[in-house]
């Protein structure tokens, strides 16, 4: 194989990402690597801690050959929209042989069984899904329950699979993304081969540094808390969790007075938009459903900061992540109609950076 594709956010680029890149090239034998990377806003409805140009430099210095941006419209969608856009971009390049992604379960047979079910959505599965939707809750949990009920009735095709194993697989966000990547490959009749790689180190949600393979969440928390001495040098721990090049880039940004970005940086703009917009206008924002526009409008008027707004608006059905995506969409007035107009695929490829090897494949 010549070229491997990776869909990522690199927020920021750390040792886990480096391991994934190196392991992927080792397993596939790929000579070149392309990263399809989120821009300044991410799939969780948050701004990236550093701008896309800075994160591109991190990726290139760590060994990625070519970085292409996932446009905002797709980078800020749920797992299905995010994954589908990334796969479509890789497909459009015409030079990618395989796509590699990190997950907690790299057993391709286990993943493929779920992919076939979620791609085909047989009638009985659709019926269960509708019943679970009526009961309420967020969609990942609803789908998990529907899958469990389906397999209890029909069983699994593979000896090494079990209902418990499939349920556990669905609890991990990286596994969910892996499934969406594979479903998109199937739906687009892609010739790109999937290569799941087992993640190592801390759980993605772990907020404390834990040595060489700390989570991106923990790294961001350390930066957000701004635990630095007078020379702007982070306390011991951060440097061991990142490639030296990434660590140095963060130091350089801080020394230039460029602080990390959070959703709070956009607080004034978000409140201005929501308080100015009518209920009908809010209703048109992408992600708004089932009367949420009323709750969001009321919360925007009565809240005193962005965190308070999120807490007042989120619920069993609408998770924090989903609310954050809606807030970012409201900031830029991204509507349902505009999403439909994009026809579920990026209309262009924007190169953010490349190495000398990248120039060969660009």
* pLDDT for 341: 87
Asked, for residue 160, whether it belongs to a domain, the answer is yes
185 shares a domain with 147 = no
* pLDDT for 234: 52
Asked, for residue 341, whether it belongs to a domain, the answer is no
99 shares a domain with 19 = yes
pLDDT higher at 285 or 198? 285
Distance CA 181, CA 173 (A): 12
Predicted confidence band of residue 106 (pLDDT cuts 50, 70, 90): low
- Give the chain's domain count: 4
59 shares a domain with 14 = yes
42 shares a domain with 7 = yes
Asked, for residue 307, whether it belongs to a domain, the answer is yes
* Most confidently modeled range among 32-41, 167-176, 223-232: 32-41
73 shares a domain with 41 = yes
Is the pLDDT at 142 greater than 90? The verdict is no
Q: Say which residues have a Cβ less than 8 Å from residue 158's Cβ, sequence separation at least 6.
A: 109, 110, 113
103 shares a domain with 194 = yes
Per residue in 223-277, pLDDT (tens digit) is 887 644 454 555 567 888 999 999 999 988 888 888 889 999 999 999 999 999 9
Do the Cβ atoms of 219 and 238 come closer than 8 Å?
yes
Asked, for residue 340, whether it belongs to a domain, the answer is no
Helix (H, G, I), strand (E, B) or coil at 278: coil
Token digits for 12?
Answer: 């920021």
Per residue in 147-169, pLDDT (tens digit) is 888 888 887 766 556 777 777 77
pLDDT higher at 228 or 361? 361
* pLDDT for 29: 93
154 shares a domain with 117 = yes
Distance CA 257, CA 11 (A): 19
190 shares a domain with 65 = yes
* pLDDT for 161: 66
Is the pLDDT at 109 greater than 60? The verdict is yes
Domain span at 279: 263-331
* pLDDT for 228: 46
Distance CA 180, CA 161 (A): 19
Asked, for residue 336, whether it belongs to a domain, the answer is no
Distance CA 327, CA 150 (A): 35
The answer to pTM > 0.75 is: yes
pLDDT higher at 149 or 63? 63
138 shares a domain with 91 = no
Asked, for residue 338, whether it belongs to a domain, the answer is no
354 shares a domain with 314 = no
* pLDDT for 132: 81
Percent of the chain residues past pLDDT 90, beyond the cut = 56
Q: Say which residues have a Cβ less than 8 Å from residue 5's Cβ, sequence separation at least 6.
A: 33, 34, 35, 36, 90, 93, 96, 98, 99, 100, 192
225 shares a domain with 193 = no
Per residue in 120-131, pLDDT (tens digit) is 888 888 888 888
Asked, for residue 100, whether it belongs to a domain, the answer is yes
CATH number (domain holding residue 46): 3.40.50.620
Per residue in 303-328, pLDDT (tens digit) is 999 999 999 999 878 889 999 999 99
* pLDDT for 206: 64
147 shares a domain with 34 = no
Asked, for residue 269, whether it belongs to a domain, the answer is yes
**Of 36, 55, 35, nearest to 47 (Cα)?**
55
* pLDDT for 203: 65
């Amino acid at each position: 194989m010549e070229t491997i594709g990776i869909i990522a956010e690199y927020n920021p680029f750390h040792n886990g990402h480096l391991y994934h890149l190196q392991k992927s090239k080792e397993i596939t034998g790929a000579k070149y690597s392309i990263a399809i990377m989120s821009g300044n806003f991410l799939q969780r409805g948050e701004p990236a801690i550093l701008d896309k140009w800075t994160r591109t430099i991190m990726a290139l210095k760590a060994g990625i050959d070519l970085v292409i941006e996932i446009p905002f419209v797709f980078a800020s969608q749920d797992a299905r929209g995010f994954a589908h856009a990334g796969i479509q971009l890789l497909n459009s390049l015409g030079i990618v042989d395989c796509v590699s992604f990190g997950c907690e379960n790299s057993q391709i047979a286990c993943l493929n069984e779920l992919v076939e079910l979620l791609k085909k959505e047989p009638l009985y599965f659709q019926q269960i899904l509708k019943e679970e939707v009526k009961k309420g809750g967020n969609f990942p949990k609803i789908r998990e329950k529907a899958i469990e009920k389906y397999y209890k009735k029909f069983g699994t095709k593979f000896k090494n699979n079990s209902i418990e194993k499939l349920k556990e697989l669905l609890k991990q966000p990286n596994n969910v993304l892996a499934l969406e990547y594979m479903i998109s490959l199937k739906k687009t009749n892609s010739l790109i081969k999937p290569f799941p790689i087992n993640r190592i180190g801390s759980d993605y949600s772990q907020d404390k540094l834990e040595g060489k393979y700390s989570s991106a969440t923990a790294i961001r928390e350390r930066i957000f808390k701004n635990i630095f001495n007078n020379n702007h040098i982070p306390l011991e721990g951060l440097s061991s969790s990142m490639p030296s090049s990434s660590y140095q880039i963060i130091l350089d940004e801080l020394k230039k007075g460029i602080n990390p970005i959070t959703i709070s940086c956009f607080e004034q703009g978000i409140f201005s938009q929501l308080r100015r917009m009518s209920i009908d206008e809010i209703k048109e924002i992408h992600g708004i459903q089932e009367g949420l526009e009323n709750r969001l409008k009321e919360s925007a008027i009565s809240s005193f900061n962005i965190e308070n707004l999120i807490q007042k608006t989120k619920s069993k059905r609408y998770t924090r992540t989903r609310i954050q995506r809606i807030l970012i969409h409201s900031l830029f007035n991204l509507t349902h109609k505009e999403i439909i107009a994009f026809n579920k695929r990026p209309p262009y490829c924007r190169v953010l950076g490349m190495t000398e090897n990248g120039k060969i494949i660009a």
